[in-house]
Amino acid sequence: MSLQLSFTVDPELEPAQIEAGRKLFAGECTFVKGVVAMNGLPSPDRQEVCFAGRSNVGKSTLINAVTGRKALARASNTPGRTQEINYFALGGPSGPGYLVDLPGYGFAKAPTDKVARWQELIRSYLAGRVTLGRAFVLIDSRHGIKQVDHDYLALLDRAAVVFQVVLTKTDKLKKGALETVIEQVKGALAKHPAAFPEFLTTSSETGHGIPELRATIQGLL
């Protein structure tokens, strides 16, 4: 008999954890560099977490909300705007870790050869970055987990990278609809051995889930 994972949604965190997350992101947060090849990655001298998701899932907007900066990551309605691995230092140049923004997967308005290059870069990064503590995979709550997400999660399974799902844009759904999506996500994640058994619901518009996401990142770094 196979063991069925039980997934917790929005786990309750201690006030001290929430405060530690707030302090981390209230401090310095700076863009380091955009990376287009593996030999351009920063020295692996600290922990890092990465954000991944389908093109137009709201990744840049969520990064701006988490960091409390309006334009740290460039948000766009054009799929495929992020075409590099973008590194941000938390706590300044000698801070505790990096937040890494990966190019979106799925459909992108960019030349096919360029898309292929950055997708290969993502695969190499996920398979070979020893300081990567966790991948946060963003899923649009209006759509749930689609096949293109399953394909990406399978890539994380093969790379043995622990990933945690973050549902975005939850303010766009009524409670009943959101609960239906949550159940769909739970069932989908059960197929992926690298899935962390907790996931978060967030809204960049209302701020829901942002303190908890900050605290989770702080705990990993």
Question: Domain segments of the chain: what residues?
Answer: 19-220
Q: Residue 118's Cα: distance from chain center in Å? A: 17
CA distance 117 to 120: 5
| Rounded to 5°, angle at Cα 144 from 192 and 215 | 75
CATH architecture of the domain with range 19-220: 3-Layer(aba) Sandwich (3.40)
Tell me what pLDDT residue 196 has. Answer: 97
CA distance 123 to 126: 5
Tens-digit pLDDT string for the chain (221 aa) = 344 568 999 999 999 999 999 999 999 999 999 998 999 999 999 999 999 999 889 898 999 999 998 877 664 444 445 578 999 999 988 899 999 999 888 655 555 666 677 678 889 999 989 999 999 999 999 999 999 999 999 999 999 999 999 999 999 999 899 999 999 999 999 999 999 999 999 999 999 999 999 999 999 99
CA distance 51 to 103: 9
